[in-house]
Amino acid sequence: FAAATVSLLESGNDVRLRQFIRAFSGKAGPGTSLEEFTGALDKWTVFCAQTLYFDRPDLVDEAIDKLCELYKHFGIDEDATRRRFTVVVRIYVIGALAVRLAAWATVHSLTLRPVPSSLYDPDYIYSSWIRNATVFVARANLHMESDEPAQARGGFVLSAARNVMVEHPAMRPDLTEDQVPTDEISARDAALNSLCEFDIAYCFIVAAMGSGHGSAYPSSSAFDEDRSKPMAQRIVADANLREQMFPGVPDTNIAAAIAEIYELAIRESASHYGGRWWAMPPSVDAWVGKNSPPVNS
């Protein structure tokens, strides 16, 4: 499938590429089994990864639109929750690739997808389908194993996403096998680090722009802060990046969002994961202070 997608991209055959997007609903719709759904979603992920790698964010957005429409009709049973988990893991896979390719508009597009709590609760709207999925999965304890360390339980989505990246090279076309080792994960692991960077970016975007409920939760707080902090450093250093990731949002609002999420991540890290987040990086702290309103004495 990946080779066929690449061939269509190289030949500029947009008609055939869009045929895949249009057909996706039938292959992953309500009448499919979980196994069929997962298989269709794996192809969706490969499609998004390859089109993003070929610098076709328009096709990526269309594919995200199609998946989000399906997502909005999930119910509340275990099968629906497992589908949510399958979706959010692959959102992270594509989000991490978008970070590595500096495709900031795609990071925004993947994140700010308001969805109802479920098919049966259409009035409670989550600001992001990412948070909706992680809430449902956590409530169902799908990720919990009694002998797992706290870090593994807390960062379950990121760990699962990295495993999917290891298993499916076509979902990470920019990384070689050597860059995604199966045994030891180092401090410089490109896969996990980009997943953590996407995670914190998602939280910043929802905090700055979210209009629904559910806020955002930094799963990356289960890992060392050094894996996420390059994202914050890039945001404050690059006005063009901010315009793509936070379109139309003033720097004061972005600064408030960064401060809010860092406070949450530091608190969660201290409470549950051994205190591996300490403070905003100096450049981020300075930028946030510069763009925050003065405190009345």
Taking only the tens place, the pLDDT of each residue in 95-106 is 999 999 999 999
The residues pairing with 118 across neighbouring beta strands, listed in sequence order, are 121
Q: Quick count: other Cβ atoms within 10 Å of Cβ 185?
A: 15
Look over the chain and give the mean of its residue pLDDT values, rounded to a whole number: 92
- 272 pLDDT band, cuts 50/70/90, is confident
Provide the CA 214 distance to its chain's centre, in angstroms: 15
pLDDT of residue 146: 38
pLDDT of residue 110: 98
pLDDT of residue 154: 58
Provide the token pair at 127: 């600001």
Residue 265 and residue 253 in contact, taking contact as beta carbons nearer than 8 Å = no
pTM check: above 0.75 = yes
Residue closest to 88 by CA, chosen among 125, 28, 129: 129
Taking only the tens place, the pLDDT of each residue in 110-146 is 999 999 988 888 899 999 999 999 999 988 876 544 3
Distance (Å, rounded) from C-alpha 98 to C-alpha 91? Answer: 10
